[in-house]
Amino acid sequence: MKNKNIAFLAAENPEALEAKRELEARYDHVPPEEADIIIALGGDGFMLHTLHEHKAENVAFYGMNRGSIGFLMNAYELDSIPDRLARAEAVRLKPLLMVATRADGSVESAPAINEVSLLRQIQQAAKIRISIDGVVRLEEMICDGVLVSTPAGSTAYNLSAHGPIVPVGSDILCLTPISAFRPRRWRGALLPHSAKITFEILEAEKRPVSACADYTEVRDVVRVDVTEDQGASVTMLFDPEHALEERIVKEQFEP
């Protein structure tokens, strides 16, 4: 991967900032807006922020772990960065698009690389109707919330909510309840990536709900539509020995 312009970005923690100083002292680099590859130094949260911040710039993203969680990150090493980038395997991620309608009628859209989640705002459980491609599949779910996850996000909040882990190339979305009270035995669904998922909030005034696309929150929603954003994608680079597909398989066998 010769003649590629590289930019370094770091999270606001001492380890990441020190790594950025060391790397910039050793390697030629450019500002992010001039880069072909952005190297993000931090954890998964910082990588997610970097993907959102720079996804429109037609660059590839290569993460190195200088944070607390690094599922989306490669191991940190100061040496041989050009060689590692030349050997790296590319994974293309398709984000979700959330369109949230508030109780006052206003609408806000936001992309999500990991997941779109709906959560109750107060102590009252939420009541949510779920439709897939215009067909009501669950008339009423009483719950703390519900989420739709991309394959890349299936190991994040989705996994914490006891949702399934799915391979990145599977073209599947995970629909996972969060602390569902009724129906008790519903554990979620796997849906084709082309599905349009609609959530309608029942008794919205009494049981207010917020919707989050990754870290973009919209409060007091009455309806949320979620689809794969066909017009957008991000490219991530992984060391062959730490390929994302292998991590997803390995994660399912961790004790």
List residues with catalytic annotation. 44
Query: Residues 239, 108: contact at Cβ < 8 Å?
Result: no
What distance in Å separates the CA atoms of residue 26 and residue 220, rounded to the nearest whole number? 49
Partners of 171 in the beta sheet? none
Question: Kind of pairing, strands 6-10 and 37-42?
Answer: parallel
3-state secondary structure the chain: CCCCCEEEEECCCHHHHHHHHHHHHHCCCCCHHHCCEEEEEECHHHHHHHHHHHHHHCCEEEEEECCCCCCCCECCCCCCHHHHHHHCEEEEECCEEEEEEECCCCEEEEEECCEEEEEECCCCCEEEEEEECCEEEEEEEEEEEEEEECCHHHHCHHHHCCCCCCCHHHCEEEEEEEEEEECCCCCCEEEECCCCEEEEEECCCCCCEEEEECCEEECCEEEEEEEECCCCCEEEEECHHHCHHHHHHHHCCCC
90: nearest Cα among 49, 37, 154, 151: 37
